[in-house]
Structure 1
Amino acid sequence: MRALVKAEAAPGLELIDVPEPETGPGEVKIRVLRAGLCGTDLHIWQWDDWAASMLKPPLTIGHEFYGEIVEIGLGVAQGEGRDELRVGMHVSVEGHVVCGRCRNCRAGRRHMCIRTNSIGVNRDGAFADYVVVPASNVWVQPDAIDPELGAIFDPLGNAFHTAQQVPMLGEDVLITGAGPIGCMAAAIAQHAGARNVVVTDVSEYRLGLARTAGATVAVNVAERSVSDVQKELGMREGFDVAMEMSGVPSAMSDILNNCTHGAHIALLGLPKDPYPIDWGKVITHMFTIKGVYGRDMFDTWYHMTFCMESSATFREAIRGVITHRFAAEDWEEAFKAAASGTCGKVVMDWEN
């Protein structure tokens, strides 16, 4: 089968023929139909220090995908029940494989597993014709979710998990960072009934995506301040909620300087380096700050699916974040588009 492989500890990838994976006990084999590109894949392609510390080549990469179950291993519940798997089902997959034994796993907090392995990073991934994953990681998709939407449930889950940390109904929401996940968060905030949704960035291209996704105002902070936007919107005291999606230190400063007392702040963006925070302001303004990683397994997945099923408008807002589509053979162009910054979500077609 075809597979996009990190063949050696060096920059680059190779699309090569490899043996089709075998399905073990408790696993399912999935024929990949669509796959999304994310920052993790770019790090692996470029082979930076993070990638070198995480991967052991050779390895098939890729973790955002949608496909069809073609084989079910021993010990996996099968049948006609709602929660049982069958050959032919269309599915997305949670990319974090947990140990099931640590305190958090045993307490039902699987997203906080201390021994998490990642598909496409620590084990062979989904940039291939077929991938084998634990049956417990499979999420069956309803008919309302088509292949390209199903392929981006992993990053959409990041946005949903972040949004789950903060109350948004009738609130003024600030989102710093208009990358794909920030734009998805804008669509979620709008869908959840926020009063104003303000998204900041310095890329006009991505700010345009944020407007399409549902931002009330998309602000180029190189040209206008967040405080000026507050005045334009008639806000009296500051934002009630903030979601930091960029990892940029100045974005955190904008949040702390523009939120009202008692605001809820959720942090998803990973910074490249440590940076200082005005903890005096955090304390005196009584901010609640929550770090967020991955998805809440599987509560986040239910919220994503229910919102997608219930609203065509929301589905199309999320689809609008997908800007580039490539055949699997054109993977180099796909990676260049994703690295350019003038894109939203990039999806590769493995079906043909």
Structure 2
Amino acid sequence: MNGKMKAVVKHHRGFGAELQMVNIPEINENEVLIKVKATSICGTDVHIYSWDEWSQSRVNPPYVFGHEFSGEVVEIGSNVTNVKVGDAVSAETHIVCGECPQCLTGKYHICKNTKIIGVDTNGCFAEYVALPAGNLWKNPADMPFDVASVQEPMGNAVHTVLSGDAAGKTVAVIGCGPIGIMAVGVAKAAGASEVIALDLNDYRLDLAKQMGATVIINSKNDDPLQAIDRLTDGNGVDVVCEMSGHPAAMDQGFKMVTNGGRVSILSLPVRPVVIDVTNDIVFKGVTVQGITGRKMYETWEQVSRLLKSGQVDVKPMITHHFSLEEFDKGFDLMIQGKCGKVVLHP
């Protein structure tokens, strides 16, 4: 398909982005062209927009960014058999090599040579996006496009919460950005007896409550360790899902987990974090897990089923809708923390 399209471009090595007219991408024999119907803003996109240390070392402007979306297939390459024109799709955003020791043993989500759509390649803050057919996930025809666009980040939440047992356990979610808020809903659906949401932002704590948190703690007003002590009779929580990346909060997470508990870390601290390994990990016999991406495609199956069954309803945390032209309003809200998930509609 020839012609031009509107796209949000990371146009320079500095703060912000620009709406530009760019070429509609050409596809090869193994790729698919998708008309984007909804695309949501991720914390990673905010890092790139704000031009923080991580993005300065990782991305190379100018390019189209964005990686969470849903849309409709409009053109397929000659080798493509898994989708057809007209299918509703989203995408696994990690492009993996298939050849490293991790891929060869089925652990694609930790592929050594992962490239990320919208970080290392052109992304989906645009009217069209071209992607490898093997990365596509077919959506039910009746799934709303905004809900379908948040399956990728919801996959992060599902992978974090369900990387160990959660049924009948006390689960603390530290950091209630959009993925943390979804983690609350997933923990509730997984049968956690208590889901404790911790953050400094009352707006987002309220969304966590709507998503099923049984207790919310604003760490600005209440000492989280004392609050957890009261809630658990001094035993600590069984599972900590660390979503904040804040060194103080992370340290508190290790202090609040019970002996023999689990700490699953999805957050990306931008500097080294000091942890009392002796007392808070070794002597407590704690399991610590780094969580990256989604298991391909086990996590996608779980996400799809949790949404279809209604066990997790993500609508409360999709708080704002804007046109592609109004992208800067969405980024402003994300930076201020005055939103749940922001969805852009090309």
**Length-normalised TM-score, structure 2:** 0.95
User: Does 2:284 align with 1:285?
Assistant: yes
C-alpha contact 1:144 1:308 (8 A) present in aligned 2? no
How far apart are residue 144 of structure 1 and its match?
Answer: 4.7
Report the counterpart of residue 222 of structure 1 in structure 2.
Answer: 220
SS at match of 1:314: coil
Partners of 2:222 and 2:53 in 1: how far apart? 35
Query: Does structure 2 conserve the Cα–Cα contact (< 8 Å) formed by 1:267 and 1:292?
Result: yes
Q: For 2:256 and 2:232, how far apart are their aligned partners in 1?
A: 14
Map of 1:348 onto structure 2: 344
Q: Take 2:217 and 2:206, find their aligned partners in 1: how far apart are those partners?
A: 10
Query: Post-superposition shift, 1:228?
Result: 4.0
The residue that corresponds to 1:66 in the other structure is 70
Indicate the SS of the match to 1:18.
Answer: strand
Relative to structure 2, which stretch is displaced further, 20-29 or 2-11? 2-11
1:257 to 223, 240, 255: 255
**Structure 1 residue aligned with 2:55:** 51
The alpha-carbon distance between structure 1 residues 260 and 48, as it changes in their structure 2 partners (threshold 3 A), is closer
Partner Cα separation in structure 1 for residue 252 and residue 330 of structure 2: 33
What pairs with 1:316-327 in structure 2 (closer than 5 Å)?
Answer: 318-327=314-323
**1:20-47 deviation digits (Å, cap 9, x = unpaired):** 1111111101000000001221222222
- Deviation of 1:336 after TM superposition, in Å, equals 1.1
- Output the CA distance in 1 between the equivalents of 2:58 and 2:227: 41
Conserved 8 A contact 1:21-1:130: yes
| Secondary structure of 1:262 counterpart | strand
Question: Which structure 2 residues correspond to residues 6-155 of structure 1 after superposition, within 5 A?
Answer: 6-77=10-81, 84-155=82-153
Separation of aligned partners in 2, 1:256 and 1:19: 49
SS at 2:154 equivalent: helix
Q: How many Å apart are 1:106 and its aligned residue?
A: 1.7
| Identical columns (%) | 40
Alpha-carbon distance in 1 for matches of 2:258, 2:117: 40
Measured in 2, the distance between the counterparts of 1:255 and 1:19 equals 47
Q: CA deviation at 1:161?
A: 0.8
Post-superposition shift, 1:254? 2.0
Contact preservation (8 Å) 2:30, 2:77? yes
Q: How many Å apart are 1:227 and its aligned residue?
A: 4.2
SS at match of 1:197: strand
1:199 equivalent among 176, 197, 200? 197
| 8 Å contact kept, 1:190–1:197 | yes
SS at match of 2:113: coil
Q: What CA distance in whole angstroms lies between the structure 1 residues aligned with 2:322 and 2:233?
A: 43
Deviations 1:79-127 (A, max 9, x none): xxxxx31111101111111111111112211111111111111111101
Task: Give the direction of change, closer, same or farther, for the CA distance of 1:232–1:196 in structure 2 (3 Å limit).
Answer: same
Give secondary structure in 2 for the equivalent of 1:136.
helix
The match for 1:331 is 327
**Pairwise CA distance, 1:231:** 5.5
Distance 2:228 2:10 in 1: 47
Structure 2 contact 54–270 (Cα < 8 Å) conserved = no
- Secondary structure (helix, strand or coil) at the match of 2:248 reads helix
Quick one: which of 248, 271, 274 aligns to 2:272?
Answer: 274
Mapped partners of 1:258, 1:296: distance in 2: 28
SS in 2 for 1:339: helix
CA contact (8 A) 2:70 2:148 kept: yes
Q: Secondary structure at the match of 1:139?
A: strand
**2: CA distance, partners of 1:74 / 1:11:** 40
Which residue of 2 is the match for residue 303 of structure 1?
302
Q: Distance in 2 between matches of 1:12 and 1:253?
A: 32
**CA shift digits 1:1-24 (9 cap, x unpaired):** 111112233332121111111111
Query: Cα–Cα, structure 1 residues 70 and 227, in superposed 2: closer, same or farther, change >3 Å?
Result: same
- Contact preservation (8 Å) 1:145, 1:308: no
Q: How many residues align?
A: 341
Q: Distance in 2 between matches of 1:55 and 1:223?
A: 38
Unpaired runs of at least 5, structure 1: 78-83
Give the superposition deviation at 1:173.
0.8
CA contact (8 A) 1:155 1:181 kept: yes
TM-score by length of 1: 0.93
- Say whether the 8 Å CA contact 1:144–1:309 is kept in structure 2: no
| Offset from partner CA, 1:275-313 (integer Å, 9 cap, x none) | 1111112111100000101111111100000111112x5
